[in-house]
Structure 1
Amino acid sequence: MTLAEATRVGAGTAPADPVLSVEGLTVSVATETGLRPLVRGISFALRRGETLAIAGESGSGKSITSLAVMGLLPANVRATAGAVRLAGTDLLRLPETRMRAIRGDRIAMIFQEPMTSLNPVMTVGAQLVEAIQAHEPLPRREAQGRALEALKAVRLSEPERRLRQFPHELSGGMRQRVMIAMAIALRPDVLIADEPTTALDVTVQREVLDLLRDLRSEMGTAIVLITHDMGVVAEMADRVIVMKDGAVVEEGPVAQIFGAPAKDYTKALLAAVPRMGQRALTDPAAQRPPVCTLRDLTVRFDIAHGLLGRTTHRVHAVEGVSLQIQAGETFALVGESGCGKSTIAKTIAGLVPFEGEIDLAGHRLRGQSDVTRAVRRDAQIVFQDPAAALDPRMRVGDLVAEPLVIHGIGTKEERRATVERLFERVGLTRAQIDRYPHEFSGGQRQRICIARALALRPKLIVADESVSALDVSVQARVLQLLKELKEDTGVAFLFISHDMAVVDSIADRVAVMFLGQIMEMGTRAQVFGDPRHPYTRRLIEAVPIPDPGHVRPSRPRMAAETPSPVRRVGDPPERLRLVDVGGGHLVAEQPGRSDPF
């Protein structure tokens, strides 16, 4: 029987006996003072065709639990109590040789970042064949056929060609599909998905979730879904376990957890989830003077090929974008990875060459050479990963004061006083100024980055995916901080994100981008309340709804790949014209040819 045929075998009625049961699992780490528990007494049972979601914030013990089940704990971490039974066999008592035979065969795992899970120097086909032959003594040709069937089962376009490609040639969503194909190629009883959609765009996330749902119903695979996204939990789970600080806070059917949570922590977690439409659709504020204006902004990167290094192709990252950001407003740029959002952020910060014009706080810029120190003072940027943006060898007070030092502002005592005020402004204390970045949580580090961006009193702050890596409750606090700063200081924000629900909760005006061009632009009420472009509607429809009772309307799956921004020299993309459909609501004219929406 082929894999495609196997996936059509119905799950049937779930048997009484669980396929996987975890009983009083305690996992501890060895420290200088002895064993310290990371997970304490967790228990659950999983039946065939069932999805169990383990939800909680970073550090709650979700991933450690999954690694213990897989037998993949780090060397200094071990299970100190309890049992993990797969169809009656205690996996914690098995030697590594036997566990290796079970891992991937009867119980498989999909990790959060597919690029780090795939070998960059092996083709996709070679890696799939290797995984299959490691567990089944099949001839190479038969293993290749099984690999092809696995790629077809996860609905990857052009599966024959994908077998010959390397991981870097695939998009993030495609790589995640390859990981799922690798996991299901051996038809495991249990599939553990550890944050499988966290790093993916909302539309790719939708495709992966639909795929997992199909695999569960067609193969009867039991799924353990580990996530901090409560919208994903609501859509996928039959039962939910909520974890905090290594222990179970609450568990029950998904409808009960969302409809009548018993514990305060669960209530707070659900309350912090951004929801589309939660904020009232209000009329736009009065017109204010512009802080930043882009006119026909174009950014292209040449690609050289051949022995002579001639430029044969170009990346059309941004293609003729014009927009205006007003004083004291939050202007959001949304779209999928590769649409040009972050390139615009880097262009405003003077980090990449460009064509066109940028008016920034009274400075007219016609090229990267015009971005002077004075210009940079008026536009500051907050990056996605605060840990990478802060020098681990410097005290955080010195990091916040560094822009003042660079621009020669104030004496040492005056800079110290400014840093103290900024720390208080972003909700930190003066006592924390002399600490190092590693002594702070992710949310606190992002507050430090915001304090540093405020040090020069800029007219514009570019927040590039500044909350996407944060837990939902921390994200809510940082978003509230940005709102307060806008109201108190009058600073304008360019808020860049692929999360439509987050944008809906904070933006005044919105521009939707695709392949370097704007598809739709207007006030938040116009874009979210009356989306006109099919791409905007597709993004909004893909947002997970944190309501188990929500019935998502069916729509055709995307059969084609997203077009590439890389084009041959002399073959630029067609420039789309924006049409005003009323009240400054601009929508791109749709080309006559077929599009990927």
Structure 2
Amino acid sequence: MNAAVTKLSGAEKAPETAPPVLSVEGLEISVRTGEGPRVLVRDLSFDLARGETLAIAGESGSGKSLTSLAIMGLLPPPAVHVSGGTIRLGKTDLLGLPERWMRGLRGARIAMIFQEPMTSLNPVLTIGRQLIEAIEAHEDLSRRDARDRAVEALRAVRMSQPEARLKQYPHELSGGMRQRVMIAMAIALRPDVLIADEPTTALDVTVQREVLELLRDLQRDLGTAVILITHDMGVVAEMADRVVVMQSGRMVEQGPVREIFAAPREPYTRALLAAVPRMGRGEGAAASGIAETVARVEELRVRFDIRGGLLNRPTHAVHAVAGVSFEIRAGETFSLVGESGCGKSTIAKALTGLVPFEGLLEVAGRRLESGQRPDTAFRRGVQMIFQDPMASLDPRMRVGDLVAEPLVIHDIGTPSERRAQAEALFERVGLERDQLDRYPHEFSGGQRQRICIARALALRPRLIIADESVSALDVSVQARVLDLLKALKTEFGIAYLFISHDMAVVENVSDRVAVMRLGQIVEMGTRAQLFGDPRHPYTRQLIAAVPVPDPTRVPPPFTRPQGDVPSPVKRRGMEPRIEALTDVGEGHMVAGSG
């Protein structure tokens, strides 16, 4: 069997008599408040064997990340602290170590990969300097030897041109490359324990698959024990040997991954597994062919100039969208899928008048052509739900005013009528009227996204663009938000442009799907056509990379892309080659795949 996909139990990886490499017993974490200490994590215990992967799963606020920070000795002092229990790395009691000794263990014997690499890397230092400093902090090496070790670490995580990457800054790398740098930094000193805190949440599905395969290979080669912290149960099924399920700071269930998935004992675990979107369960029903067309995109092109030279003139252009065409019908959910940088969000920005474009756009009978800017009537017909609700809501305004603000901007109704509509929308999205006078920070992530949905509905648009609107949410919250969007589509007769890189979610919500790559659509068809009979190699690659929440299933072999990815950057005057879409079945279009 392929070693990259072989998963052994903890008992197979280490003799039962071998002591655990990490042991947590009765861990309690508290925070000091004005009313006294409040317990955040209570009575948590688990052991970790050498070469084992232990997943800690649960929703946001369950205590997963707090547990990892406590193990690393990184809880924010003095308010948050360990108030009980023990944490042992081998025979070393980590809680009893002075900070200067703990600094010597971090990186050398226990390392951590954080969720967002861009916030973990120093933006003003090169990748090489950050890697070399981390190595020199723990080992007495010359600068040349430390540099060679850094190159070796980058090569171990399959980073192309590792010597050249040392000279680059974090912003010059893609999200997947930055995460590889974080992994390289974590494994450079070959630690006994590696903690991966949501290491793939923000990554595209193919990059996620590559990172997971990489962690699996490194674990096999180095014998590292891994704690995987995630709310993605598909990742848990494919990666973990054992699972700890947490809820509200408590461990509700613990056991081998196959037992937990096959026969979960606790209601919370069963609910968590039931909420996971699974491939093959799509329930979309394509809108009738005679349904009214709500939105039309014809030969849409969006380019961004790159300037250079002494005169700072445009020399190159990024072809973010290169000749895209599609229609969206009334009552339909039309999805755009693809990896970051493929042009999905740029199309959304063009439809809402946020970027200049070439081509033709039409929403609810209002047309825009090259160079034109949308008027008030056009903007009223299309509204947007963004990925991060907290970044979409003004923290200084009460949420009731935020929901009513579009009515104020478009001069619709009196103040009392606007308030009444805000109350009605709040109730419709599952919130209470007495919450209207609160501020955004007083709501959970799922509640804030409901507020954004209510705001988008205020003008009764014909088209709502949902741009990665559930990707940052826990699976159970995600399921409730998706159910709400489905119900609102039927109730209000609106159409959705659903933008996502999560193929399992797309299959569960879509009527029709278009797959984008490098600014172009390479395949388009109904949900059943795209997921039941994908024709383009890139579509098949996306679907094959989706983690499946079934630990008994052996993932299909993953073929890593070879060579460099074609660049959307072209010299001024040079147009990218456009792949013509060919009808391979009723409404099923696919670009030439070579």
Same-fold call, TM cutoff 0.5: yes
Alignment deviations for residues 366-398 of structure 1 (CA, whole Å, 9 cap, x no partner): 145330011000000010011111111111111
CA contact (8 A) 2:337 2:501 kept: yes
- Establish whether residue 58 from structure 1 lines up as the match of residue 60 from structure 2: yes
- Establish whether residue 398 from structure 1 lines up as the match of residue 369 from structure 2: no
Matched with 1:6 is none
Q: Secondary structure at the match of 1:39?
A: strand
Q: Secondary structure at the match of 2:420?
A: helix
Residues in 2 aligned to 1:564 and 1:69: alpha-carbon distance in whole angstroms: 42
Residues in 2 aligned to 1:54 and 1:286: alpha-carbon distance in whole angstroms: 46
Kindly report the root-mean-square deviation, in angstroms, between the aligned alpha carbons of the 2 structures: 1.4
Alignment deviations for residues 506-525 of structure 1 (CA, whole Å, 9 cap, x no partner): 00000000010001001111
TM normalised by structure 1 equals 0.96
Q: Once the 2 structures are TM-superposed, how far is the Cα of residue 253 of structure 1 from its aligned partner?
A: 0.4
> What code does the residue aligned with 2:101 have?
R
CA contact (8 A) 2:283 2:508 kept: no
Residues in 1 aligned to 2:489 and 2:160: alpha-carbon distance in whole angstroms: 45
Matched with 1:241 is 244
CA contact (8 A) 2:14 2:49 kept: no
Q: 454, 461, 482: which one pairs with 1:451?
A: 454
Matched with 1:323 is 326
Residues in 1 aligned to 2:470 and 2:43: alpha-carbon distance in whole angstroms: 32
Matched with 2:317 is 314
CA contact (8 A) 1:15 1:47 kept: no
Matched with 2:568 is 565
Q: 1, 25, 28: which one pairs with 2:27?
A: 25
Q: Secondary structure at the match of 1:217?
A: helix
Matched with 2:9 is none
Residues in 1 aligned to 2:235 and 2:371: alpha-carbon distance in whole angstroms: 42
CA contact (8 A) 1:60 1:243 kept: yes
Q: Structure 1 unaligned runs (5+)?
A: 1-9, 592-597
CA contact (8 A) 2:287 2:331 kept: no
Alignment deviations for residues 431-475 of structure 1 (CA, whole Å, 9 cap, x no partner): 211211111111111111111111111000000110011111000
Matched with 1:176 is 179
CA contact (8 A) 2:13 2:52 kept: no
Q: Structure 2 unaligned runs (5+)?
A: 1-11
CA contact (8 A) 2:426 2:454 kept: yes
Q: 309, 321, 342: which one pairs with 1:339?
A: 342
Matched with 1:466 is 469
Matched with 1:287 is 290
> What code does the residue aligned with 2:139 have?
E
- Establish whether residue 424 from structure 1 lines up as the match of residue 441 from structure 2: no
Summarize the alignment of residues 526-537 of structure 1 with structure 2, pairs less than 5 Å apart.
Answer: 526-537=529-540
Q: Which moved more, 1:137-146 or 1:262-271?
A: 137-146
Matched with 1:42 is 44
CA contact (8 A) 2:305 2:317 kept: yes
CA contact (8 A) 2:284 2:509 kept: no
Q: Once the 2 structures are TM-superposed, how far is the Cα of residue 562 of structure 1 from its aligned partner?
A: 2.7
Residues 305 and 250 of structure 1, relative CA distance in 2, 3 Å threshold: same
Summarize the alignment of residues 87-98 of structure 1 with structure 2, pairs less than 5 Å apart.
Answer: 87-98=90-101
Residues in 2 aligned to 1:378 and 1:95: alpha-carbon distance in whole angstroms: 61
Alignment deviations for residues 77-133 of structure 1 (CA, whole Å, 9 cap, x no partner): 110111110011110110000000000100000000111111112221221111111
Alignment deviations for residues 41-68 of structure 1 (CA, whole Å, 9 cap, x no partner): 1111001000000001111000000000
Matched with 1:4 is none
Q: Secondary structure at the match of 1:251?
A: strand
Equivalent pairs counted in the alignment come to 582
CA contact (8 A) 1:274 1:502 kept: yes
> What code does the residue aligned with 1:85 have?
R
Matched with 2:356 is 353
CA contact (8 A) 1:283 1:525 kept: no
Q: 113, 133, 148: which one pairs with 2:116?
A: 113
Matched with 1:575 is 578
- Establish whether residue 131 from structure 1 lines up as the match of residue 129 from structure 2: no
TM normalised by structure 2 equals 0.96
Residues in 2 aligned to 1:119 and 1:419: alpha-carbon distance in whole angstroms: 43
Q: Once the 2 structures are TM-superposed, how far is the Cα of residue 154 of structure 1 from its aligned partner?
A: 0.8
CA contact (8 A) 1:335 1:341 kept: yes
Alignment deviations for residues 332-351 of structure 1 (CA, whole Å, 9 cap, x no partner): 00000000000000110111
Residues in 2 aligned to 1:366 and 1:36: alpha-carbon distance in whole angstroms: 59
Matched with 2:73 is 71
CA contact (8 A) 1:157 1:560 kept: no
Residues in 2 aligned to 1:350 and 1:26: alpha-carbon distance in whole angstroms: 51
Alignment deviations for residues 528-549 of structure 1 (CA, whole Å, 9 cap, x no partner): 1110000000000000000001
Summarize the alignment of residues 171-320 of structure 1 with structure 2, pairs less than 5 Å apart.
Answer: 171-279=174-282, 285-320=288-323
> What code does the residue aligned with 2:332 have?
E
> What code does the residue aligned with 1:475 have?
Q
* Percent pairwise identity: 69
Q: Secondary structure at the match of 1:152?
A: helix
